[in-house]
Amino acid sequence: MGLQHLARTTRHWNPMNRSLLLLFGHRTTRRFSLRSVFTNNSAEPNGFTLMELLIVMAIIAILMLIAIPTVGALKKSANELSAKKSIQTIEQAEMEYESTYPANGFACDLKSLGGEPSAGAPSSTGAQLLQGDVTSGHKSGYVISIGNCTKVTVNGTDRITGYTVTAIPETVGRTGDRGFCSDQFGTIKSDPAGGTNCTQLVQ
């Protein structure tokens, strides 16, 4: 059609559009506008660049390194609290056991304080005073036991007059840091090294 046809059909254009026509001439058949000229139509990259992904991965790694020790410390603290609660529960069971079976005195093992009601009536060998999670000797990362029993013999029957209950970490530094001990007097002490050499009072 040529330049004359384009001039007739665009006689109502503003001066800027006429300038564009003169600039590009009759060799193009595309329509131009100010928006197409002054807008960058180049394709923008989608997603993340490799550098951005590496930065995000580095930040995540740093956050994990910060969080993991914190989670471990919280877990150990919860385990230690559970161990102290277990010792207190055993002490209460021992007092009830001695009251129920005065000829036997205290129990010298966890099994005597436990037992299932389905097995029959409570007895001195299964008083049914403790739940199975405690009498199993393993709870919340701690090993729990009763030992160091003292006794007297009355009419041919041994009567337990003293005992020591201990709770030590299954893995020192991982499941707990301190060991805990108590006895028939009910005073709980701790061993900072995680053993049974308990010398520090527990508040």
User: Is the model's pLDDT at 66 over the cut of 80?
Assistant: no
Give percent above pLDDT 90 in the chain: 61
When pLDDT is averaged across residues 101-129 and rounded to a whole number, the result is 95
167 secondary structure, DSSP code = E
Is residue 150 within 8 A of residue 55, CB to CB? The reply is: no
Tally of CB atoms within 10 A around 182? 22
Q: In angstroms, how far is CA 8 from the centroid of its own chain?
A: 79
Predicted local confidence at residue 26, as pLDDT: 47
State the number of CA atoms in the 13 A half-sphere of 84 facing the CB.
Answer: 16
Higher pLDDT among residues 147 and 5, named by residue: 147
Higher pLDDT among residues 68 and 108, named by residue: 108
b/e sequence 65-85, b meaning 16+ C-beta within 10 Å: eeeeeeeeeeebeebbebbbe
Write the pLDDT tens digit of every residue in 12-54.
445 545 544 444 454 444 444 444 444 555 555 567 788 888 8
Element (H, E) at 61: helix 50-100
Two tokens, residue 35? 């928006």
Query: Could you tell me the CA-to-CA distances from 200 to 77, 121, 180, 189 in Å, in that order?
Result: 17, 40, 9, 5
Residue with tokens 């559970």: 82
Predicted local confidence at residue 203, as pLDDT: 78
User: Is the model's pLDDT at 71 over the cut of 50?
Assistant: yes
Instruction: Single out the residue of 83, 88, 128 nearest to residue 110, CA to CA.
Output: 128
Residue with tokens 């805990």: 180
Predicted local confidence at residue 10, as pLDDT: 47
Any idea where the domains of the chain sit in the sequence? 2-38, 50-201
